[in-house]
Amino acid sequence: MNRKISSTVNLILLLTISIFAQDADKLLKEVDENLMPDSYEAYRTLINEEPDGSKKEFTFYTVKKGKDKIAMLYLAPASEKGRSTLRLGENMWLYIPSVNKPIRITSLQSVTGGVFNNADIMQLEYSYEYNAEFDEGTETEFILDLKAKNKTVAYDRLKMWVTKNDKILRKVEAYSASGMLIKTLEFKNDKDFGGGIVRPAAIETYSPLYKGFRSVMIYMSIRKRQLPDEVFTQNYMSRLDDLRR
């Protein structure tokens, strides 16, 4: 009898854990939907700040389609203008006009320098890369623990703070497989971009590994746009500017 009771209790616990995991994954998908439409174009500015107070600024035109396709064209500074990057899942390329062919890059590199790496700048949907579980939240925020689905993801684990009332992302802590905090990203300045898109307009990141350095990503505009698959190919990297005309 005791064995039967024990087996029943264990089954209930397993079912409860499974339901909570499903609910956490559902919330993560809502966070993705609030951050970015399924297919869109956006203009962004990235500012890298160094300990001596110096700054370097970049401007990008970005397009995304589905969960795993994103391309980005450099508009400024003049020294970088015409460069482009492409991400298909975990595969990434950089196109430099003077080289005239795509070069493979990795998620942990940074084509702009600063605290943001390539995976941060060309962020895919979180639910595409991570499984979620609930952690102990606060009165106003859910806290999610995210575990990478495979070893090719830039960060092994993320801890994510999400508002309970409108499911808006507020903060992400990124950790290595050993549990070391790599960086923190804070999502600020909620803005109505039109077309039903309301999201943080600024993402600020800093890291204990780069003391005194700070990087900020500012969304100047974002709007839904349907894009052909051809846009997200290596052959199209040199022609991304055509989309702006």
Q: Give the integer Cα–Cα distance in Å for 74 and 16.
A: 48
Q: What pLDDT is recorded for position 21?
A: 52
> In the predicted model, what is the mean pLDDT of residues 192-200?
94
Confidence of residue 245 (pLDDT cuts 50, 70, 90): confident
Q: What is the mean pLDDT of the chain?
A: 90
What's domain 3-244's superfamily in CATH? Lipoprotein localisation LolA/LolB/LppX (2.50.20.10)
Q: Give tens-digit pLDDT for 107-160.
A: 888 989 899 999 999 999 999 999 999 998 888 999 999 999 988 899 999 999
Q: Give tens-digit pLDDT for 45-98.
A: 999 999 999 999 999 999 999 989 999 999 999 999 999 999 999 999 999 999
> In the predicted model, what is the mean pLDDT of residues 174-194?
95
Q: Give tens-digit pLDDT for 4-33.
A: 555 544 443 433 434 455 689 999 999 999
What pTM, to 2 d.p., does this model score? 0.86
